[in-house]
Structure formats: structure tokens, C-alpha cells
């Protein structure tokens, strides 16, 4: 009975738009859903460093190299903010990373595609970070305080990511024929996987109903996807690139750009580990985890020493 009253009060707080903080009472499902979502978000940020890191040493100019370096470094920071946010729910990041490295936890489909040319860095900044901004702007208003604040900080940095990517797209689209061909090829390859980032259609989304009831998600997968398409069609036209969807059509009644059907077989195949780069990404992350063990051990030893010192002086 007591939990029923607590659930009622919790949901009243959510309705009033209050933020739930780590020490507040929350239903176990709210906690486990957040751990699932936040940890997978964090894993995605860290894996997301790999496709772009691939081009740091091959950037076409010092300016491009510097902005790509800054972006990849930001992604690492996003991962750390998000692991910290997940840890406020009573889990340890080593447990979360262990689930990722064992293949139990998911990460975003989008990072399992190859970055074949420099133009991919433009397409990723514009499309992938553009999609992430649409999603994360919503999450910055979610009901769980630490996740909302982490996304607020992330969105500020994502804006730079998208702008640097879009500038590359516009530069190449106005460039020589070979550059124009290269950027159009990259847009062709990244467009549909970027739409898949928003997840399955609402009717096939087992988590959305609960997440929306408790205002972790304020909009559905399909609503956010539509918002991203509407934004991006206009930007594509301004940049002078074509989106690879012959079914794209403006509907004046809904003020939406209608688009073709997503290849959900491809989506689920990539999510289940059979994308073009899944094995490479997991191999690289497992290797980095082993090679980085000494850093974790040193940090743990230092923290233990600090705790002992604090206990002694207490």
C-alpha cells in the first residue's frame, strides 16, 4: 500500500514537471529503464569516437584537424558525463562497461558504418550529430535531474559538432566536381542510418510507452525522426546536396516532409551485431579497455590513498 501511495506521489511530481533526483523515491522500473538508456547512450558516445578518430591524422588542413580533434575529445567527455549520470542510480560504471564489452548492452546503430572518405566527417557532423541534437534537446528536459543536466551540457557542444560538419558539407558541395561527388556519396551512405538512430516505429517500440509516461521521453521516436527530416531537408537544399529518398514530398497540410520506408531489416541486423563495422568497433573497444587497465588501476590507487588520508585526518 505504501508503495502505491509513493507511486502516486511520484507520478504527481512528474506531472508537475518536477525533476526527480538520485535520493528521491522512484519506481524500480524508472531506475532500471534509466540505467539501460543512459548507459547505452554513454557506450554510444565512446564508440562514436572510433569512426571519426580514423580521420584525425588524415584531415585535409590543420584547421579541420583541430576541429575534428576537439569534437572527438568532446564525445569522450559526453560518455563520461553520462556514465556519471548512470552511477547516480546506484550502478558502477565498471559493471556497465562490462555489459557493453560482453555484447550484452547496446550502442547506437550509427557507429557501425565505415568512414570511407573525408566527406564522411562532414556528413556525420551534419546528419549524425544533427539527429543527436534533436534527440538530446528533448532529453535535456527529461524528468531525471542528472540525465537532464548531462544532456544540457552535451547539447551545447553538439551544436559546434553539427556546424563544423555542415560547413564541410557546404564547402565540398560548392567545390570541384570530385569534391561534389565525394560529399554526395557520403550523404547517400549516412542518410538512412541517421533516420534509424531514432529507433523503431512507435508501434514497435517496447520502451517508449513507459518512458513517455514518466517523461523521460517527451516525444516519440517517430515524432523526433520527423522533426529531424523537416529540419534537414531545408539544410540539404541550402547546401546543394540531394537526400537519397525519391519519396521525399512536402505535405502542406501537415507541414511535414514525408519520406520513404526505412529498411528495418538493415536496422535490426546492425543492432544485432551484423553491421559493416560492428566487429571492428567491439575489437577496438575491447583492446582499448585492456590497454587502459593501468590508467584505471592508477586512478583507483590514487582515490584509495586520498580516502585513507581523509579518514586519517577525520
Q: Which residue, 172, 185, 166, is CA-closest to 232? A: 166
> Contact between 199 and ligand 3HC (CB under 6 A)?
yes
Residues 124-153 within binding reach of ligand 3HC (CB under 6 A): 128-129, 132, 135
Residues 150-169 within binding reach of ligand 3HC (CB under 6 A): 158
Q: What is the DSSP letter of 219?
A: S
Question: Which residue, 170 or 271, has its beta carbon nearer to ligand 3HC?
Answer: 271
Angle at the Cα of 96 from the Cα atoms of 90 and 97, rounded to 5 degrees: 145
Q: How far is the CB of 148 from ligand 3HC (least distance, A)?
A: 12
Question: Which residue, 117 or 194, has its beta carbon nearer to ligand 3HC?
Answer: 194
Binding mask 209-238 for ligand 3HC (x = CB under 6 A): --x---------x-----------------
Q: Given 3-state DSSP classes, what are the helix, strand and coil percentages for the chain, each rounded to the nearest 5?
A: 70, 5, 25
Angle at the Cα of 115 from the Cα atoms of 129 and 188, rounded to 5 degrees: 70
CA distance linking residue 98 with residue 86, whole number of Å: 14
Q: How far is the CB of 258 from ligand 3HC (least distance, A)?
A: 21
Label residue 215 left, alpha or beta by phi (over 0 means left) and psi (-120 to 50 means alpha). left
Q: Which of 75, 87, 120, 245 is close enough to bind ligand 3HC by CB under 6 A?
A: 75
Q: Which of 49, 142, 186, 271 is close enough to bind ligand 3HC by CB under 6 A?
A: 271
Residue 190 near residue 167 (C-beta atoms within 8 A): no
CA distance linking residue 123 with residue 120, whole number of Å: 5
Q: Which stretch binds ligand 3HC (CB under 6 A): 37-45, 57-65, 177-185, 280-288?
A: 37-45
Contacts to ligand 3HC by CB under 6 A: 36-37, 40-41, 44-45, 48, 75, 78, 106, 108-109, 128-129, 132, 135, 158, 196-200, 205-208, 211, 221, 271
Amino acid at each position: 500500500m505504501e508503495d502505491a501511495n509513493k507511486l502516486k506521489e511520484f507520478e504527481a511530481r512528474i506531472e508537475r514537471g518536477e525533476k526527480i533526483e538520485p535520493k528521491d523515491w522512484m519506481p524500480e522500473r524508472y531506475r532500471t529503464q534509466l540505467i539501460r538508456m543512459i548507459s547505452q547512450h554513454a557506450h554510444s558516445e565512446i564508440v562514436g569516437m572510433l569512426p571519426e578518430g580514423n580521420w584525425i591524422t588524415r584531415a585535409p588542413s590543420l584547421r579541420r584537424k583541430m576541429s575534428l580533434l576537439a569534437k572527438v575529445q568532446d564525445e569522450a567527455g559526453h560518455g563520461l558525463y553520462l556514465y556519471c549520470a548512470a552511477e547516480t542510480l546506484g550502478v558502477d560504471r565498471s559493471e556497465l562497461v562490462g555489459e557493453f564489452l560482453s555484447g550484452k548492452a547496446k550502442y547506437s546503430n550509427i557507429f557501425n558504418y565505415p568512414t570511407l572518405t573525408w566527406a564522411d566527417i562532414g556528413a556525420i557532423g551534419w546528419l549524425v550529430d544533427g539527429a543527436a541534437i534533436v534527440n538530446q534537446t528533448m532529453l535535456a528536459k527529461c524528468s531525471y535531474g542528472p540525465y537532464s543536466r548531462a544532456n544540457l551540457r552535451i547539447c551545447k557542444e553538439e551544436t559546434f559538432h553539427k556546424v563544423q560538419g555542415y560547413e564541410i558539407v557546404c564547402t565540398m558541395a560548392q567545390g570541384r566536381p570530385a569534391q561534389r561527388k565525394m560529399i554526395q556519396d557520403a550523404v547517400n551512405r549516412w542518410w538512412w542510418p541517421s533516420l534509424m538512430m531514432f529507433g523503431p516505429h512507435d508501434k514497435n517500440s517496447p520502451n517508449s510507452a513507459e518512458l513517455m509516461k514518466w517523461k523521460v521521453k517527451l516525444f516519440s521516436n517517430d515524432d523526433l525522426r520527423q522533426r529531424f527530416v523537416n529540419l534537414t531537408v531545408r539544410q540539404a537544399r541550402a547546401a546543394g546536396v540531394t537526400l537519397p529518398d525519391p519519396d521525399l514530398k512536402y505535405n502542406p497540410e501537415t507541414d511535414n516532409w514525408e519520406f520513404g520506408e526505412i529498411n528495418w531489416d538493415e536496422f535490426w541486423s546492425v543492432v544485432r551485431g551484423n553491421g559493416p563495422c560492428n566487429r571492428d568497433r567491439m575489437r577496438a573497444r575491447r583492446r582499448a579497455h585492456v590497454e587502459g587497465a593501468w590508467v584505471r588501476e592508477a586512478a583507483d590507487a590514487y582515490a584509495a590513498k586520498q580516502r585513507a588520508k581523509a579518514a586519517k585526518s577525520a
